Structure 1
Amino acid sequence: MQEIALHLLDIAQNAVAAGARRISACLETGADGRLLVLTVEDDGPGMTCREAASAVDPFYTSRATRNVGLGLPLLQMAARETGGSFHIDTAPGKGTVVRAEFVVASMDCPPIGDMGGAVAALMGCNPDLEIRYTRRQENRQFSVDTRQLRRALGEVSLADVRVIRWIRQYIEENTREMDRPRWPLPTGRVSSRSNGTGGMDPT
């Protein structure tokens, strides 16, 4: 997988296959811009320490304990190849939290990719689940939540192609707005009289 968006989709779908009913995903840019952190949390059955270790082993083939594919091993490898880290916090009956940190400056850091399309597909394919996606950067963030969408839509299903299209566009537009630089405003007030500083009157 070459995009962080596809990693998110794969991990979330694995959680659904394991029986999760609530999934919360967050993509956060660290305060200094050095790290890109993906966190996916679910309320599924959880895993023992041994099962969690097996889940990140690409050569582990048994599906007796949890229905997982190569999603976790690939995400772990992608994060660590950038010099980042990978963690799983899980316990039987307690759900699972997966956290992957990517070093942005690394040549091996994958692009975010089509996050709007990935989240829209996840929500549209699982219209009865509680799914929340949050994008956070410094002091700015936005979220899209299926519970709020269902209240607003009434009888219209999240699987409706118009809703899926709207979710994708909403995420794309808010991501562009968040990525837009916010230049600091000048401290002085603009003056029509020249003061030798390009028209800026600091008084």
Structure 2
Amino acid sequence: MRLILLGPPGAGKGTQAKRLVERYGIPQLSTGDMLRAAVAAGTPVGLKARAVMDAGQLVSDDIVIGIVADRIEEADAKKGFILDGFPRTVAQAEALGDMLAGKGLRLDAVVELVVDQDGLVNRIINRANESKANGEPVRADDDPEVFKTRLAAYNRDTAVVAPFYEGRGQLTRIDGEQPIDAVSAALYAALDKVDA
């Protein structure tokens, strides 16, 4: 199963992706995680991405498409994958479709987690406080000011991706305001129909 999870930052895509990994046995391909790993490793792409990410901006399409194209060739992604945080623009969605078609692949599902954006900043502040309380590092993009920049970028660039897939009859919307287990149950119900 090849699927995309859409929704604004802080909507719970990462949490749900981890549950989908366990249920379907396919890897979560988070461009954010892949980019953070590159930044931490100090790779050339990581150094380019660091300044952009620290400012709450989006990295270039070329960098992201290249990372995704290489990653889906790895053995664990042969049965499918979950894209979390990608595509972020219609141009990326089109490039993803072209790249997959070039590999003889297609998407099986696109799911959008719909949440109240006014509550997202509080959710991020709580997530940062929980990380601190647990002695875990706080993600740089969980800083409230950086988060607000990311949310503005999402609304400017990424919010149009869901209607793009909706126009192609591929989009399923799920209420992301529900308790985590209820969101998971709704996801499973939608995806089990696709997987049947």
Q: Structure 1-normalised TM-score?
A: 0.27
Specify which structure has the higher proportion of helix.
2
Q: TM-score, normalised by structure 2?
A: 0.28
- Greater relative contact order (Cα 8 A, min sep 6): structure 1 or 2? 2
